Amino acid sequence: MNTAITQTPAFGLRIPQFGLAMLSAITAAAVLAGFAPIQVSIWTVFLFAGPHNWMESRYFLARMPVRWGRSTAFYSAAILGVLLLSAGWILVPATGTGRAVWHSALILWLLALLNLRPHRSAFASAAWPAGLLLMSAAWLAPHTADLVVVYAHPLMALWFLDIQIGRSRPEWRAYRSCLAALPLVLALLWRFAAQPAGAPDRLIDAISLQAGGPWLVSTHVFLETLHYGVWLVALPLLGLRGAPWRWREIPLIRHRDGWPKSIRGVLLAGAAAVALLWVCFAFDYATVRSAYFTVAIVHVLAEAPFLIRQ
């Protein structure tokens, strides 16, 4: 890692300190996920699932332009795709054929967004052969494709973090060397992590099913913990002009052509939903967790257009 010390104006961190913070977070998440995967999964989802969704909404609203201009087709396709694919994930039977159709639609949507970007690159055309190859793989192993979505999602948070560091603190790009520890951490988790235990069988089965098997529970918990940390700590510190509750900085609220009442209503409704989710978790954690991860596909899909639009 680059050890040159550069003082940054944001919360007094220097480059080595930021790298150390990243390594500490990775290590702590791995230790917790390795020794008590079920308990950590239960508590992290209970505490952070709702707040991190709200923070994602806050972050994306701050980056939504007031006028779409040349991006009108892109944003229209993005919103329509999120709505239709989310409904399809929930309503289409979870059979092999149903999942294969859904993944095919997802891939076609992503390819369309690549081609609808205002500054279309050669990569957009080159992505079609790869997309069609992935579509074939989804038909051969549709439930494996489900797991790809599950595990790609937390890694997308690190992609957002990298983009934001490039914008706000490019001198911190040296943190990427810290990510080299991820393969080693994952290998150690697969070798030494505890097997799921310590909760009712129904909950253990549900958590194991979501992760793709009992031996993958620690891996999923580890990545999800990093995901929550990025959205609740790193990105708010780096990517927001003010505190999360200071909404005046959001262009859709500040601009004369924005929708201040609607956006404030969305954020207030989201905060109320977070509180309601905590209450529901307290009454019936297993059922609410299952329902949450079914509808959580909405925010997974909503992240894709913002990554493609970069």
Q: Which residues are CB-contacts of 154 (< 8 A; sequence separation ≥ 6)?
A: 223, 224, 226, 227
> 7 has which bridge partners?
14
Model pLDDT for residues 94-113, shown as the tens digit of each residue: 899 999 999 999 999 999 99
Q: Is the pLDDT of residue 221 over 90?
A: yes
Determine phi and psi for 7, rounding to 5 degrees.
-75, 130
For residue 153, what are its two tokens? 């999602």
pLDDT confidence of residue 78: 95
Q: Is the pLDDT of residue 14 over 60?
A: no
C-beta of residue 270 within 8 angstroms of C-beta of residue 54: yes
* Distances 113 to 6, 119, 160, 278, 292 between C-alpha atoms, Å: 38, 11, 18, 35, 27
> 14 has which bridge partners?
7
Number of Cβ within a 10 Å radius of residue 183? 9
Q: Which residues are CB-contacts of 56 (< 8 A; sequence separation ≥ 6)?
A: 231, 299, 302, 303
Q: Is the pLDDT of residue 240 over 70?
A: yes
Who wins on pLDDT, 184 or 138? Answer: 138
**What residue segments make up the domains of the chain, in order of their start?**
15-308
Give dist(CA 185, CA 34) in Å, integer: 10
Number of Cβ within a 10 Å radius of residue 182? 16
Q: What is the mean pLDDT of the chain?
A: 85
Q: Which residues are CB-contacts of 220 (< 8 A; sequence separation ≥ 6)?
A: 41, 150, 151, 210, 211, 212
Give dist(CA 227, CA 223) in Å, integer: 6
Lowest mean pLDDT among 12-16, 97-101, 173-177, 247-251: 12-16
